[in-house]
Amino acid sequence: MKKDLLTLRDVTRDELENIFEVAAKLKRERGNSDYRPLAGKSIGLIFAKSSTRTRVSFEVGVGELGGRPLYLDQSKMQMGRGETVADTANVLSRYLHGIVIRTFAHSDVEELARVATIPVINALTDEFHPCQIIADMLTIKEYSGKLDKSIRVAFYGDGRSNIANSLVLAAKLTGFELVISSPEEVGYSKELAEDAPNIVWEKDPIKAADGVSYFYTDGWVSMGFETEREERMRIFRPYQINDKVYAAARPDAKFLHCLPAHRGEEVSASVMDNPQRSIVFDEAENRLHVHKALMSLLMG
Ligand code: CP
């Protein structure tokens, strides 16, 4: 039976460990392997939003696994002119062996996966970004050698963003401590975090830094929220990750960011560009290895 990845709820802890193992092997053997699980297969990459990391790493990844990537700009598809998601899923299932999709409404990805007879991977919706968070967790494992309750991650900014929501599901899955530091009027998704005592919310960004091993933030104006830019700049301003926040943290705390970063907004240049703190490019590289692992496991 086909398996999709729409959120981290689709992954068990054992499956996550297997993804890490496959990704680590693909990383070690990159450029020196004849592993081609996608040989003879075509993977559709539907994008309704801008992308650098996700598009390039999936496109390169399909090629390195021996498959054929088809980049599909959603605005140029008939789906962008009103063809239903279900009809699109039916048609693409006759041509392709897997679909990777980045779009706005999470419900569209759910509908696509429900109807498609081929595996579907969520490459970002307004609500969830599972591929990003799996790569982030691999990066933490590489740096700390483990991913459990001894690891404390603090997310600063929009506590209801697709990154924050996905971190909540990741903390539930693995047990790492997660602090979400966001303004009172934003908070975080308590529904997603239900029954997870390892997830806490802390309004005060200095208090939230206590004992943190990994700081994490994202741009304050996510794709689709551009009209709210001024208001979001105002409410998230106290949640910039900077030297003041670092002064309240462990000296060896690392900095993660899904990118693109906006220096002077959600992160200071003194954090983003400090190689003792920032591990964002190792994190970005891991997108490629994780995407290859996901496609080989789900579509190979
Ligand atoms: N982090 C992330 O998804 O990057 P892109 O938007 O460039 O794909």
Is there a catalytic annotation at residue 78? no
Instruction: Tell me the CA–centroid distance for residue 161 and ligand 1, in Å.
Output: 14
**Dihedral sign from CA coordinates of 219, 122, 131, 183:** positive
Q: Which residues line ligand 1 (CB under 6 A)?
A: 51-54, 124, 132, 258-259
Is there a catalytic annotation at residue 234? no
Is there a catalytic annotation at residue 136? no
Per the residue annotation, which of 258, 277, 289, 291 is the catalytic one? 258
Is there a catalytic annotation at residue 129? yes
Instruction: Tell me the CA–centroid distance for residue 173 and ligand 1, in Å.
Output: 23
pLDDT at position 222: 83
The ligand 1 atom at the shortest distance from the C-alpha of residue 123 is: 3
Amino acid (1-letter code) at residue 228: E
Closest residue by Cα to atom 6, ligand 1, is 51
Closest residue by Cα to atom 3, ligand 1, is 54
Q: What is the block-wise mean pLDDT of the chain (300 residues), using blocks of 10 residues?
A: 97 98 98 96 98 98 98 95 97 98 98 98 98 98 98 98 98 98 97 97 98 98 87 96 97 97 98 98 98 98
pLDDT at position 9: 98
**Dihedral sign from CA coordinates of 201, 202, 206, 208:** negative
Map residue 16 onto helix, strand or coil.
Answer: helix
Cis peptide leading into residue 197 (ω within 30°):
no
Instruction: Tell me the CA–centroid distance for residue 183 and ligand 1, in Å.
Output: 25
DSSP 33-55: ----TTTT-EEEEEESS--SHHH
**CB atoms inside a 10 Å sphere around CB 190:** 11
Whether the full predicted model's pTM is greater than 0.85, yes or no, is yes
Euclidean distance between CA atoms 265 and 193, whole angstroms: 27
